[in-house]
Amino acid sequence: MSNQKLTIVARILAKEENRELVKAELLKLIEPTRNEKGCISYNLHQDNENPNLFLFFENWENRELWQIHMNNAPLAAFSSATEGAIADFVLNEMSHIE
């Protein structure tokens, strides 16, 4: 297992008419994710100019533990609950360089 820490930036753009649904479902992810093995931080933000835009800034002990997170039940429930409600979803895996 790699020991390199991993930062994730997840950009979720809700369809305007589904903003509150998406927000509520994103909020449900916070507590279980913060309790997962390997999660260092998991913080949700909402854009001040575009309230349909949400960002998760995540830090994980390594990519392998993040991959376990990506296949867990809360994320599957989120995907099911928000099907058709998200206009765009971009996920960036990043490494800290300084």
Give the range of the structural domain holding residue 35, as residue numbers without chain letter.
Answer: 6-94
Report how many domains make up the chain: 1
pLDDT in tens, 56-71: 999 999 999 999 999 9
What the block records as the tokens of 48 is 């001040």
pTM for this predicted structure:
0.92
Give the count of beta carbons closer than 10 Å to the beta carbon of residue 15.
15
Residue 49 lies inside a defined structural domain of this protein: yes
Residue 1 lies inside a defined structural domain of this protein: no
pLDDT in tens, 67-94: 999 999 999 999 999 999 999 999 999 9
Beta carbons of 75 and 21 less than 8 angstroms apart? no
CATH number at residue 48: 3.30.70.100
Give the count of beta carbons closer than 10 Å to the beta carbon of residue 61.
17
